[in-house]
Amino acid sequence: MENNVEPEYAIVTNDLSIHYGSYTAVKGVNVKVEKQKITAIIGPSGCGKSTLLRSFNRMNDFVPNCRVTGELLLQGQNLYSKDVDPVEARRRIGMVFQKPNPFPKSIYENIAWGARINGFKGNMDELVEQSLRGAALWEEVKDLLQKSAYELSGGQQQRLCIARTIAIQPEIILMDEPASALDPISTLRIEELMQELKKNYTIIIVTHNMQQAARASDYTAMMMIDDQRSGGVIEFDDTKKIFTRPKDKRTEDYVTGRFG
């Protein structure tokens, strides 16, 4: 099979736009997301960060009237071509949400369930342990595996959600403000965890927290709305450059805290 894309990119978008009915929420995004790196998406509220992120694993399929144009290429395959099975795609592209959303099941089942529906046939106990270790949660919950996930704290729940995502061994993990509902210590743990995870996964994270983007990410996409209220990526570069020598004046204003 011929690859149109250089292998080091996990996701390449070509003029990707997202529309709700006649309103264009995100317009003309062209980014190349490098493999095994952390890419942050920043920008003021309502600029379409989450909308863009959700288009990466076709979560926007569940939004009525939502339409996507342009291309989103995963190893050369367009995620939005008609013969793509979104269920299969989501198995390869995991997602961690803004608010921890563990299933109303035991801690063990939270991880085992996703693996089972994905056809995992190996040793489930081992997988659960590995995934919990991978999410830096094992030591805290190893004696509570049969307890409800809702007995955990918010930060633990979020790490459980990360654990269940890595249990299905995706290539890419999308994180939609994963630490915004957490206290600073839990936030720090999630950030440390991301550094660990990027050894094996490509991570794309939406964040409101500019320090977080500056601390944790390798690349940063700056988004902003235009005069038609459509969001777009106005600058995409090394995180260092974005935060020290941004090319766009609006980026500079935003990262220095002059607005947003």
Partner 1 sequence: MSTKNFRPFNLKKTIRPGETIIQSLLFVAGVLSIMITITLVYELGKEALLFFNNPDVTLAKFFGTTEWQPGIGKYGIWPLVTSTLITSFIAMLIALPLGLAAALYLSEYASPKVRSILKPILEILAGIPTVVYGFFALLFVTPILQSIMGKDNISVYNMLSAGLVMGIMILPLISSMSEDAFSAVPRPLREGAYAMGATKLETSLQVVLPAALSGIGAAVILGISRAIGETMIVAVAAGSGPNFTLNPFEAAETMTGNIARISGGDLSYGSIDYTSLFAIALMLFLVTLVLNLISQYVVQRFREQYE
What residue type is 31 in one-letter code?
V
Closest distance to partner 1 from the beta carbon of 244 (Å): 35
95 binds partner 1 (CB under 8 A): yes
101 binds partner 1 (CB under 8 A): yes
Q: CB of 234 within 8 A of CB of 71?
A: no
57 binds partner 1 (CB under 8 A): yes
Closest distance to partner 1 from the beta carbon of 75 (Å): 17
CA distances for 11 relative to 17, 18, 22, 29, angstroms? 15, 16, 27, 12
Whichever of 109 and 235 has its CB closer to partner 1, that residue is 109
Stretch that binds partner 1, among 18-26, 35-43, 110-118, 177-185 (CB under 8 A): 110-118
105 binds partner 1 (CB under 8 A): yes
21 binds partner 1 (CB under 8 A): no
Q: Which of 113, 124, 154, 180 binds partner 1 (CB under 8 A)?
A: 113
Please tell me the distance from the alpha carbon of residue 257 to that of residue 260, in angstroms, as a whole number: 7
52 binds partner 1 (CB under 8 A): no
Whichever of 9 and 103 has its CB closer to partner 1, that residue is 103
Q: CB of 156 within 8 A of CB of 183?
A: no
Nearest CA among 26, 78, 77 for reference residue 53: 26
Nearest CA among 186, 164, 166, 162 for reference residue 176: 162
Whichever of 101 and 195 has its CB closer to partner 1, that residue is 101
104 binds partner 1 (CB under 8 A): yes
Whichever of 161 and 221 has its CB closer to partner 1, that residue is 161
Token pair in block for residue 182: 């957490």
Size of interface with partner 1, in residues (CB under 8 A): 28
Looking only at residues 153 through 172 of this chain, which bind partner 1 when binding is defined by CB under 8 A? Answer: 161, 164-165, 168
Q: Which of 114, 231, 232, 246 binds partner 1 (CB under 8 A)?
A: 114
Closest distance to partner 1 from the beta carbon of 112 (Å): 11
Please tell me the distance from the alpha carbon of residue 126 to that of residue 84, in angstroms, as a whole number: 32
Whichever of 103 and 241 has its CB closer to partner 1, that residue is 103
Burial class (CB in 10 A: 0-12, 13-18, 19+), 216: buried
Interacting residues with partner 1 (CB under 8 A):
57, 59, 62, 64, 87-88, 90-92, 94-95, 97, 99, 101-105, 113-114, 117-118, 148, 150, 161, 164-165, 168
